[in-house]
Amino acid sequence: MEFATLSNGVRMPKVGFGVYRVPAEECQPVVQKALEVGYRHLDTAQCYFNEEQVGAAIQASPVDRSDIFLTTKVWIGCYGEGQTYASVERSLRRLKTDYLDLVLLHQAFADYYGAWRDLVRLYEEGKVRAIGTSNFLPVRLADLAAFGGMAPQVNQVETNPLCQQRVAHDYMAAVGVQHQAWAPLGAGAAGVLDSPVICGIAERLGKTTAQVALRWLLQRDIVVLAKSTHEERMRQNLDVFDFELAAEDVAAIEALDTGHGTFIDPSDPATIDFFRPLVEERCGLL
């Protein structure tokens, strides 16, 4: 496994395993299998409602907690000074650990400023080794760095061949924020894994389409978080360090960029309308 080094020196495995949409009842065996096949970077979130099962899998696994890079994300409904701190303490209990490697603010809505102050406090107290954001636009990263007391060390955003985030990536690279890709395979929806361009490259190289998509992200210095509940796919998605995409293949994939996200657009006011009922619905559950 290769590692990315964050701005504070913390090392993060470049391929992580995500558990979004892994139902709670399947999550413990799936995460145990992921650890068994070699994953050492796990990405969950309060609003995935599977932190308990991720924690149980870590406890049941022979892999040392200190060898696992563990991330969770604070749900919007838990934002606010004091509330965020308490919600991370609950996450620690659910995950059965006394520290987290990374905690992210899940979205740049509601009282993310109060939430950020709590993450800074958790970081200063050593309960969290790194702090960051998710779905934050460059302007919001700059805002936190200037006025939030500490710059984010990571920003996790949708990134795949259809949504390449080139402007955001260049900004993050320039200011030392590690770019993490969510939905690196396009969440399995049409577009990435059935792309004739990526399929053609994969066939020529004797790799799978998923491996080529992940490799292309890694060659841009982006940490990838892929999800699969199938052992063979878990193995494939980890096995991406023994080949290199040539410049012409990189250019062919670059030409697939649509310039926008395929799931949510953090710059669109309609996204707030999408999240508001979700926040109300999940209020009190976390």
Chain residue whose CB lies nearest ligand NAP? 18
CB of 217 to ligand NAP, least distance (A): 10
Note whether 182 binds ligand NAP by CB under 6 A.
Answer: yes
The question of whether 79 is a catalytic residue gets the answer no
- Total residues binding ligand NAP (CB under 6 A): 26
DSSP E strands, the chain: 3-5, 11-13, 15-18, 41-43, 69-74, 102-105, 131-134, 154-158, 178-182, 223-226
- Contact in structure between 134 and 178 (CB atoms under 8 Å): no
Note whether 201 binds ligand NAP by CB under 6 A.
Answer: no
Of 97, 156, 195, 271, which lies in the binding site for ligand NAP, with binding defined by CB under 6 A? 156
Note whether 20 binds ligand NAP by CB under 6 A.
Answer: yes
Helix/strand/coil for 146: helix
Note whether 249 binds ligand NAP by CB under 6 A.
Answer: no
Strand partners, 74: 105
CB of 45 to ligand NAP, least distance (A): 7
Q: How far is Cα 95 from Cα 221, in angstroms, rounded to an integer? A: 29
Of 57, 68, 183, 252, which lies in the binding site for ligand NAP, with binding defined by CB under 6 A? 183
Note whether 93 binds ligand NAP by CB under 6 A.
Answer: no
The helix (H) or strand (E) run that includes residue 239 is none
Q: How far is Cα 61 from Cα 54, in angstroms, rounded to an integer? A: 11
- Which residue stretch of 140-148, 165-173, 226-234, 248-256 sits at the interface with ligand NAP (rule: CB under 6 A)? 226-234
Cβ-based nearer residue to ligand NAP, 61 or 160: 160
Binding mask 120-139 for ligand NAP (x = CB under 6 A): --------------xx----
Note whether 39 binds ligand NAP by CB under 6 A.
Answer: no
Note whether 169 binds ligand NAP by CB under 6 A.
Answer: no
CB of 279 to ligand NAP, least distance (A): 14
Q: Residue 152 region, left (φ>0) first, then alpha (ψ -120 to 50), else beta?
A: beta
- Contact in structure between 226 and 20 (CB atoms under 8 Å): no
Catalytic residue among 48, 79, 123, 171: 48
- Neighbour count for residue 215 (Cβ, 10 Å): 23
- Neighbour count for residue 98 (Cβ, 10 Å): 10
Note whether 253 binds ligand NAP by CB under 6 A.
Answer: no
DSSP assignment of 51-116: HHHHHHHHHHSSS-GGG-EEEEEE-GGG-STTHHHHHHHHHHHHTT-S-BSEEEES-S-SSHHHHH
CB of 70 to ligand NAP, least distance (A): 12
Stretch 40-69 residues interacting with ligand NAP (CB under 6 A): 43
CB of 230 to ligand NAP, least distance (A): 4
DSSP E strands, 172-278: 178-182, 223-226
Note whether 19 binds ligand NAP by CB under 6 A.
Answer: yes
Annotated catalytic sites, by residue? 48
Task: Give the footprint of ligand NAP on this chain (CB under 6 A).
Answer: 18-20, 43, 134-135, 156, 182-188, 193, 208, 210, 225-230, 233, 236-237
